[in-house]
Structure 1
Amino acid sequence: MDRNGKLNVGIVGAAGRPRIFRDAIHAHPRAAIAALCEISEERLDMAKAYFGQYPAYLSFESMLESADLDAVIIGTPMQFHVEQALLALERNLHVISEVPAGIDIGECRRLTETAARSKGQYIMAENCNYMKPHMVISNMVRSGLFGELYYAEGEYLHDAKPLCVSTPWRRAWQTGVNGITYGTHSLGPILDWMEGDRIARVSCIGSGRHHADGQGRAYEQEDTCLMMGQTERGKLIRVRLDLLSDRPTALNYSLQGTRGCYESIRHELLGAGKVYLKTEGEDKPEWIDLAAAGKQYVPDIWQRVPEQMLGASGHGGSDFVMMTDFLNAMTDGKPSPISIHRALDMTLPGLISQLSVERGGQWLDVPDSRVWSGDNGT
């Protein structure tokens, strides 16, 4: 930290996704932006126009060597996440990386081993974990309202064909590979609800290919991919990824326990959804709006969000809440909210699904990153 006791943060990919974190960093009393990095002068100018006139770099390595940093935010395309995280962790810097953690098993293992040696914390920025309904459900789960959990569903449905044109890396890494290439939005909240558990094996199948890109090439990814996962504790999780179908964007979730269940509203991107909670002597099961049933389970961090940030900071305010929580952890010296192992619990099932779909849906084991680092924690 600098002489004023502030966490100095460098941002790579600053003209893109990380812009959504500006307000949270500026609002935090113990954090400050210290440097910006982009791949061209044009994009650096865009970043400076948005963030302000901070030291600016065209090379991530130069930023790490020259800027006085405590942490970096990695907001670059997914194929660069591990490479850049390794460089920062080797310098004992904290890392906040966009999703997913990595794009193949080997680099995920290197990331795990490096994070275990580093004095910096690794954090993965899965904002779906911080959406208000999902945090409310987490508190309700921990209060025992749903009983013992045994099944969940997560769906990420987002027509990314236009994005594959404007951001070509998506054409290669999200729709250019078959299987669950972008599954952390679905798995993140579910694994938060199923605290202490992880997916131990997966099977993945696809629906076939019905779309082509602008050059007339069929997308390598099938239109809808379904991954079934079984956890170490025997729970069942279904994940659907669809980046190609012509439809409105949707994030859908379902959770089932022995005493109740949760269903998001399928046609509302950020809708609260409904819950059923079993009561003694009830005439018949009835749905209750989550906004009413979960009112007393809203986490403190959401109750402290400034009103103006709810709409301005992205995804209904979840990006502001997420970054605030991450900055609090780093400045307070507390464990990472989404640690290296939890990040890989969200990432590795999707990578193994890509092997499973090639083999006709064969069930395959998912490696546990804790084995790679010799760490039994979560």
Structure 2
Amino acid sequence: MQEHTLQTRDFYYDLPQELIAQKPVEPRDSSRLMTLDKETGEITHRHFRDIADLLRPGDCLVLNDSRVLPARIYGVKEGTGAHVEFLLLENKEDDVWEALAKPGKRAKEGSRFTFGDGLLQCEVTDVLEDGNRLIRFIYDGVFFQLLDKIGQMPLPPYIKEKLEDKERYQTVYSQEAGSAAAPTAGLHFTPELLEKIKEKGVELGFVTLHVGLGTFRPVSAERITDHKMHAEHYYMPQSTADMINATKERGGRVIAVGTTSCRTIESVARREGRFKESQGWTDIFIYPGYQFKGLDGLITNFHLPESTLIMLVSALAGREHVLRAYEAAVWERYRFFSFGDAMLVV
């Protein structure tokens, strides 16, 4: 199938609602792991804790160390006491954030709100064309500490259950606060499993890509080439660039943990030609027909039908192989989406 004829509906699969995971499993690495051979389409079924057995000495894993902000905050409007929910999307400058407001009609320019019994206050400074708000925060203390105290995790809309422990929507290696959603492929790792992987002779390197809410935006265009990707900020340090270059030189495999790490690797390769320290904004859209420049393998969760994420996996392993694997996952009753099970494509 030619890339220019690909339709969004070509990436549809039928998913029973009860397979959408509502809670993470304990321990993290007890989730299931499907392996998919990108050349043959062969599938095996294991547990995530077995992943060290599937990696080879000389391989490297690239992980996204972005940390999710507890970015959903509930405020009261000064003067009227009306309740408004804000979802912080992006830090524009110092204390100014772009945010979604619900209901929007209560958040007009100039209106002020208080949160957490006055711990935090904000004023709406602008209403943008797309309806998002710019808000300026006023507070005493450290902003992120206050946010930690009063904010809720911005769980995807398909997760209906309340999350008991905020840390379960963070990877164990998260460092750099800034994401509106978790890079969920990394949720399966424990510190012990990462140690075991290193002992096998596999190198670990980190990149940062702050996940935007556009991740959950469905593809509404009929032809996938008409879809416009949202831009996200990424950073690859020199140490990770050196690790990838060395892995390539010795014939090892570069395996991304998650589609965000994959998009970072490919964005740097496309922009720089060789791996070196790089940062910027990327709106790279990877779908079948794309030629990978840095990536050899991918650890990822099971994604929504017709999403840009299932298109990315299909670019690596072939659409038919991926849809067959997803059919098998439904049949075997794997758990889907953010708190679901994982897949290794090599």
TM-score, normalized by the shorter chain, greater than 0.5: no
What's the TM-score, normalizing by structure 1? 0.27
Point out which structure has higher relative CO (alpha carbons under 8 A, 6+ apart): 2
